[in-house]
Chain A
Amino acid sequence: MRELRQAGEKKSTRDGYGEALLRIGEADSRIVALDADLPTSTRTAKFGQKYPERFFNVGIAEQNLYSVAAGLAACGKIAFASTFAVFATERALNQIKQCIAYPALNVKIVTSHSGFSASGDGASHQTLIDVALMRSLPNMTVVVPADAVQTEQAIAAAAAHEGPVYVRLGKTEVPILFEPDTGFRIGESIRIRQGSDVTVLVTGILLGQAIEAAALAEQEGIEAELIDIHTIKPIDTAAIVGSARKTGSVITVEEHSVIGGLGGATAEVLAERHPVPLIMVGVRDTFGESGDIEQLYEKHGLTAKQILESIRLAVRKKR
């Protein structure tokens, strides 16, 4: 169980990245950063200003971006290569597979504007399949931080981790929930709240919505166990199975397609290890569209009230 901050200051996860990159870049001269014409948006810009010789903005060329990063890593650099999640994972997928994942090179693919966070720009600039794509690549670690503080921890952990890491970040400003001294280890989920009636697994910035939903459920006498799955791969199988054994039903919450996302990953774990009713909250095989982030969350059932409905449903399914 973790003591979380009361929701107050809001910040995007990409902002956490910008600060973390500066810090680790200062501590370790092997750190280099690359971007594809979006350093202001991805927040690599500050690193670029402070360490221009270690920063490569390769222009609007994502395929080149990830292969160049691989070349730098093959010569001992720790390469952080950033652009929008959609262009990294969808456009440069084959480069990421061939040049980074297959040879297991030390490239950190840190992306912004994931999920719906490029809200107004519509489907072309949103990605709801990036986790599915990255998760299915052998040798790839996949991390989805919940707030700016956890992002800083995740970036430091990614730098220390030998091998490819995908870190999924967003533009949406969300409450800071974690404290800098909250422990963070790749692959180790964080239990936010203990409960015996239903397990709620959440990844990324919907953690705040899930916390609210669990609090609402409590008012109805439902004790939800809430777990932050910040690492989608390797997923914390022991925590998921342990909690499912205790509660007997699970819901997953993500700003991503349930196909191949946290929903799919959890289904794989439960089906093999401990089958229980599973409700997957997320996007259902559809593209994004323009709109406010609130409207998009509402449409796809991602608000706290809608998550509460899914919690109720999961409890009913046990009977």
Chain B
Amino acid sequence: MGTENSITKLENHARSVRRHIVRMIHGSGTAGHYGGSLSCVEILCCLYFGWMRHRPEDPGWDERDRLVLSKGHAAPALYAVLAEAGYFPVEQLGSFKRFGGILQGHPDMKLTPGVDMSTGALGQGLSVALGMALAGKLDGKAYRVYALLGDGELDEGSVWEAAMAASHYRVDNLTAFVDRNNLQISGPTESFMRLEPLKSKWEAFGWEVIEVDGHRTRQILQALGTMDRVSGRPGLIIARTMKGKGIRFLENKKECHSCALTEEQFAAVMRELEGR
């Protein structure tokens, strides 16, 4: 973990995944969730290409680590990562949101190989991940469960039900990420529903909390390593990110939550992401 080689590999994956995301959303012909998909790219790349035990050739492998994408609107990011990991052909990404396809607008575990839970309605994924973690403990399995939450999603009261319960049950096989990009649909999270002090809130709920730069793969991997060694409580990684990361004119703009690119913008963005 964390060797120069592996960091380079992860960064290459991240670049490739960003291109997939933009192509996929633009190709769907409708507005899409660029912002929240692009902000969690490094988190998902670290998990699937540098951390989790999983078998793309055997998506139902019982011993696999699980991920619940609680912020289900970042489905493009998850799909791109799963395709790149080999769960299904990359060409399939072109069917995103298409009628009759396997890539619904929000994740569907019944349709898409590699998706561990159907999500989309916010505030529920942490509870599901807790249930998975409890099952792992009951069965004496070594797998770990990961959840990826949006920061706007923390407005949902049910997240805090789960936060309380996970620490009550001492599930140290559960690690959650908050994709802290500071924006929700209406605008800055702190203007519309204040979340800070976020770290101390989660600590008060009994969680081990680490803050990282969510676009620095080395920091993410280090935090994952630390959480692996935490015993008796769940772990939360607050990943400070930028919404829309990678599309310069959309970065940190509330409009990027869900938007459409013109053909000219699309072409420019792809040139930028391809480093030309």
Contact = CB atoms under 8 A, between A and B. Distances in A.
Contact of A99 (B116, B118, B135, B169): B118
Interface residues of A, number: 29
A27 interface: no
B238 to A, nearest CB: 21
Contact of A63 (B109, B117, B127, B138): B127
A103 B117 contact: yes
Interface string A81-115: 00000000000001101110011100000000000
A74 B128 contact: yes
Contact of B120 (A58, A75, A98): A98
Contacts of B68: 71
Contacts of B157: 63
Interface string B99-131: 000000000111000001111110111011111
A71 B127 contact: yes
B138 A64 contact: no
B260 interface: no
Contacts of A98: 118-121, 124
Contact of B138 (A53, A59, A68, A70): A53
Contact of B131 (A59, A71, A94): A71
B135 A76 contact: yes
A99 B124 contact: yes
B24 interface: no
Band of interface residues on B: 35 or more
A298 to B, nearest CB: 40
B158 interface: yes
Given A32-B138, A59-B164, A64-B162, A75 B131 contact: yes
B162 A75 contact: no
Chain B facing A: main interface SS: helix
Interface string B67-105: 010000000000000000000000000000000000000
B132 interface: yes
A54 to B, nearest CB: 7
Given A67-B124, A68-B127, A74-B117, A103 B110 contact: yes
Contacts of B124: 63, 67, 94-95, 98-99
B158 A95 contact: yes
Given A58-B165, A63-B158, A98-B118, A104 B127 contact: no
B140 to A, nearest CB: 11
Interface of B: 62, 66, 68, 108-110, 116-121, 123-125, 127-136, 138-139, 157-158, 161-162, 164-165, 168-169
Q: Would you list the 7 A-B pairs with minimal beta carbon distance, nearest first? A: A71-B131, A67-B127, A75-B135, A64-B161, A61-B161, A68-B131, A63-B158
11 contacts: A58-B165, A59-B164, A59-B165, A61-B164, A63-B127, A64-B161, A68-B128, A71-B68, A74-B116, A98-B119, A98-B121
Interface of A: 32, 53-54, 56, 58-59, 61, 63-64, 67-77, 79, 94-95, 97-99, 102-104
